[in-house]
Amino acid sequence: MRVKPGTLNTRPQSSSFVFGEKPTLVTPPVGLHYHGRWKCIGGRGRGCIAITATVLFHSQPHEKFVVLVSDEEIQEIFTEAVRLMDSVTTRAAPQVYQVKDYRGCEHSHVICVGVEDSWMVEGISRAVQTLFIVDGGTSAAARSRMGLWMEMERRGLLLHRPLPSTNALASLSDNDWKALDQISQFLMIPKEGGMDEDGMRENSPPKGATRIFAMGSVEDGRVGIWEVYRKTLWVQDAHSARDTFLAHSGMLIHGTGGEVQILHLEGKDWREAPHGWDYKLPIPQPFFVEGTMGVGMWDSFFLAGGKRNPRSGLRLALHSNQWVELPNMMTGRWEASTVMLDPHTILVLGGMDLEKGITHSSCEFLDLRTEQWSPFPLNIPIPVSNHATTLYGDHVYISGGIDGRESRGTVWRCRVSGEGPVDTLSSLQFSRHDHGMMGDGVGGLKVIGGRHVRVGEEIVDVLLTETLTLDGRREWKHKPKLPFVSLWKASLMNLIS
């Protein structure tokens, strides 16, 4: 969307579209969220944007807001949601106009809600003092506008305030939400029998259900980010085994070279995949992702180490897409592994040190409250890199990796507290590295994909999944071969936390 200088009918200022205040971009809650009791799938309609605008309106002290829209669906949902709220509050409803019907008018306080490109300049120029822009969505046009807003935020021309939640509408009943969903299907409300329109999957997965994603390829040459058991190619894009990949909080996060790429799954239909990345965020130079560790916690994504920056680390705030530098690690590492021990502690394990030409068995942790790295009380029994690590119960589990010469099948565990010995569990049937490991939710572990190498041999891909029951038989069992050519760094995402 190109805007020529002088298009807006207010005096231009370096920090604002309008007099007095910078405009504020308000977006729906990041990742998985609910309206009432039901999960939002707002990418199928404009409902989530309208609900976000309703919450914003009821959070503002000014009652004399003018709301401008260009989409009749959004207008209908917003108007009905406000009416339903007015039945339990004494607040007066706002004036709602189509932008085309408000041309030539101005108002002190304006909310532009999902206004389309062709009317955006006309809409935002109606504000004299306070301007809120409510936007988002998964359509190509919405993603294009969001790219513009993110660039303007980067330049300091507007503020970005993702909505933390939609709890302000908690007074709406189930029937209220069902009525709103009839206007635009944006909620995952089970139909008769609990199946969606093609009967292929349940609308409401059971609590604790999981999905597993990985970087991979198939025989027909398609390469990208896959949902493993559905065999859905969510993003068709090149990748490397030295990239960072994580499924976290409703997002697929891929770090490669000088950027991090993010896809929000909420609102996206798997039948319409592959999708393009929602965001491609440049990483502050000179940090470069190559054998770099990545881990997520709530609204943050952390990068640490790598071939070119072995001691450096960064934190990405996922709600604002802003980077913050972390303190340097005690030891340079690349192709290590990392896990969040708790909401304020990052544990880094093993990895290689190019400067010293060694592979580490040592571990260290970062306390995000004090921003200090400290040695972890326990080491991995042997030096390894390219291994997989997961937190399950009160233990950290470590499997596979490369010992400097060949792939390993060894599996260990230690307590999160670092107390006691490191236990050696049964070895994998197929030694591997660059794989994924996760708890299966029913008292066991699962290892998926990866690669295998022996001294003097070429690297081969491993496509067998192995499972281990922790409270019974302590031997790994392998499952049938997965229908892929390669699967690297598989990552688990909990559907409902």
pLDDT tens, 395-427?
Answer: 999 999 999 899 999 999 999 999 989 999 999
Show Cβ contacts of residue 477 under 8 Å, excluding neighbours closer than 6 positions: 466, 467, 468
pLDDT of residue 199: 29
CATH class belonging to 210-494? mainly beta
pLDDT of residue 249: 81
Per-domain residue ranges of the chain = 24-183, 210-494
- 24-183: which CATH topology? Rossmann fold (3.40.50)
Residue located via tokens 């605008």: 53
Show Cβ contacts of residue 148 under 8 Å, excluding neighbours closer than 6 positions: 1
List the chain residues with pLDDT less than 50.
1-18, 44, 192-209, 495-497
To which H or E segment does residue 397 belong?
A: strand 395-399
Count of Cβ atoms closer than 10 Å to residue 445 Cβ: 21
pLDDT of residue 289: 97
139-176 per-position pLDDT tens digit? 667 777 887 888 888 888 889 888 776 566 778 888 99
Beta bridge mates, 210: 494
Report pTM: 0.62
CB 194 within 8 A of CB 208: no
